[in-house]
């Protein structure tokens, strides 16, 4: 009823021809209320941790938006066809920008497929994974294997350093196999990434110049999507852990084809050197895209554990001891890739909300309230 009355008020104000200060003031109030309603409709009533929310992109699949160390910019990946893309490339945005009527600057080469960009501490360069050394065209993207959803794990992925104009200034990995999913410690000294150099998908760390590579995990299964805690002492990541002979064979056979099936994953946490490894969630289905709360005492992540048919994915928060699980978003389709700004005041995430019922996944930035 409130919206109907406001709409009638807008019509009456614009139909009136008088131009005086009283009318102008009323008109300004209406514009403010309209702006507030537009903003608030992006937040579901139960989403009490969001004070406000801004939609950043308006088409395609846009994900993994990561903040510069000074929180002034974000780098993200998109495959939006209206930007001339055939597969994911990296883009740069300033905080507050939106891209409904314009295209952000592309800062990857435009060749191959890219993934997981992350700012370096100088705020002038970033790391990302790319397949361009394996070919300039986009590699194929298999989505199904024997009727099941799969992710490709391209053995042509390596990790590169580039400036914000898109010039590659360094290559951090050159081992045979998959090297990607690199993220940088908030302390600015280490990078964690996923690699198949051991024959399995394991976590590794290295210095930001690529030296001192150390293996962190060594248990069969996909270990990936890792992030450091705010103080750099811990790692949170997603993992599959096939246990039965059948599950182990299926996992190994898929990996031999450069594929993983990400439908059963839980969250694991360990010290940055791999010690004190333990399972954090035991929820079932797919629990992934974890990120530390700014306090370092909670984890925000995406999960479909409450879903009966795979969807929806929503954001949840849980303590480091696995207690006090709290649902954060209340969408009906997909919310994932939550990333806090370094000052803890904002949350970037990807969502299917407000996409007109289509399949587009867009970026949103919310003001966070604890």
Backbone angles phi, psi at 247, to 5 degrees: -65, -40
pLDDT at 225 over 70: yes
Length of the chain measured in residues: 370
- Mean pLDDT across 27-39: 35
What pLDDT shows up at residue 15?
Answer: 28
Segment 90-94 long-range contacts (CB within 8 Å, at least 24 positions apart):
90/114, 90/117, 90/126, 90/128, 92/164, 93/56, 93/65
Backbone angles phi, psi at 311, to 5 degrees: -130, 155
Segment 72-76 long-range contacts (CB within 8 Å, at least 24 positions apart):
72/123, 73/119, 73/123, 74/348, 75/107, 75/117, 75/118, 75/119, 75/126, 75/128, 76/117, 76/363
- Mean pLDDT across 196-206: 98
State the pLDDT confidence band at 3, using cuts at 50, 70 and 90.
Answer: very low
- The alpha carbon of residue 151 and the mean position of all alpha carbons in its chain are separated, in whole angstroms, by 16
Q: For the whole model, what pTM was predicted?
A: 0.88
pLDDT at 324 over 50: yes
Number of Cβ within a 10 Å radius of residue 15: 7
Handedness of CA 90, 47, 307, 355 (dihedral sign): negative
pLDDT at 22 over 70: no
State the pLDDT confidence band at 116, using cuts at 50, 70 and 90.
Answer: very high
Chain mean pLDDT for the chain: 90
Q: Is-contact 149 85, C-beta < 8 A?
A: no
pLDDT at 8 over 60: no
pLDDT at 29 over 70: no
Give the range among 16-25, 124-133, 275-284, 303-312 with minimum mean pLDDT: 16-25
State the pLDDT confidence band at 310, using cuts at 50, 70 and 90.
Answer: confident
pLDDT at 7 over 60: no
pLDDT at 4 over 70: no
Q: State pLDDT tens for residues 47-61.
A: 999 999 999 999 999
Q: State pLDDT tens for residues 233-244.
A: 999 999 999 999
Q: State pLDDT tens for residues 181-195.
A: 999 999 999 999 999
Number of Cβ within a 10 Å radius of residue 36: 11
Angstrom distance (rounded) from CA 276 to CA 100: 46
Angstrom distance (rounded) from CA 278 to CA 43: 34
Integer-rounded Cα radius of gyration of the chain = 22
- Mean pLDDT across 99-120: 97
State the pLDDT confidence band at 37, using cuts at 50, 70 and 90.
Answer: very low
pLDDT at 223 over 50: yes
Look-up: residue for tokens 């999960």? 303
- The tokens for 106 are 């592309």
Q: State pLDDT tens for residues 136-174.
A: 999 998 888 778 889 999 999 999 999 999 999 999 999
Handedness of CA 163, 167, 170, 174 (dihedral sign): positive
β-strand pairing of 50-55 with 362-368:
antiparallel
CATH architecture for segment(s) 48-368: 6 Propeller (2.120)
- Mean pLDDT across 66-87: 97
């Amino acid at each position: 009823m409130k919206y109907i009355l406001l709409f009638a008020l807008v019509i009456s104000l614009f139909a009136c021809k008088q131009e005086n200060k009283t009318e102008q003031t009323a008109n300004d109030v209406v514009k403010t209320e309209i702006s507030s309603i537009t903003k608030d409709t992006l937040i579901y009533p139960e989403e009490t941790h969001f004070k406000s929310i801004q939609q950043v992109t308006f088409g395609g699949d846009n994900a993994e938006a990561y903040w510069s160390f000074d929180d002034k910019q974000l780098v993200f990946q998109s495959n939006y066809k209206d930007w001339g893309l055939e597969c994911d490339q990296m883009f740069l945005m300033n905080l507050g920008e939106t891209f409904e009527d314009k295209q952000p600057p592309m800062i990857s080469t435009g060749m191959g497929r890219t993934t997981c960009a992350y700012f370096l501490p100088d705020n002038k360069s970033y790391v990302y994974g790319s397949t361009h050394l394996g070919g300039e065209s986009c590699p194929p993207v298999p989505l199904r294997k024997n009727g099941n959803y799969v992710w490709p794990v391209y053995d042509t992925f390596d990790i590169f350093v580039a400036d914000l104009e898109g010039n590659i200034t360094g290559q951090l990995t050159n081992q045979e196999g998959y090297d990607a999913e690199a993220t940088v410690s908030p302390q600015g000294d280490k990078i964690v990434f996923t690699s198949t150099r051991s024959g399995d998908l394991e976590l590794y760390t290295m210095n930001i110049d690529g030296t001192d590579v150390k293996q962190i995990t060594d248990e069969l299964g996909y270990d990936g999507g890792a992030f450091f805690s705010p103080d750099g002492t811990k790692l949170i990541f997603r993992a599959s852990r096939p246990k039965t002979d059948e599950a182990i064979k299926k996992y190994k056979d898929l990996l031999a084809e450069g594929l993983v099936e990400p439908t059963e994953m839980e969250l694991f946490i360990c010290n940055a050197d791999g010690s004190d490894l333990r399972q954090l969630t035991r929820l079932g289905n797919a629990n992934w895209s974890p990120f530390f709360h700014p306090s370092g005492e909670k984890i925000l992540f995406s999960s479909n554990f409450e879903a009966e048919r795979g969807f929806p994915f929503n954001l949840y928060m849980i303590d480091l001891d696995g207690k006090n699980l709290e649902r954060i978003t209340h969408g009906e389709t997909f919310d994932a890739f939550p990333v806090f700004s370094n000052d803890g005041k904002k949350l970037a995430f990807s969502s299917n909300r407000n996409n007109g019922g289509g399949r587009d996944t867009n970026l949103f930035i919310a003001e966070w309230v604890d």
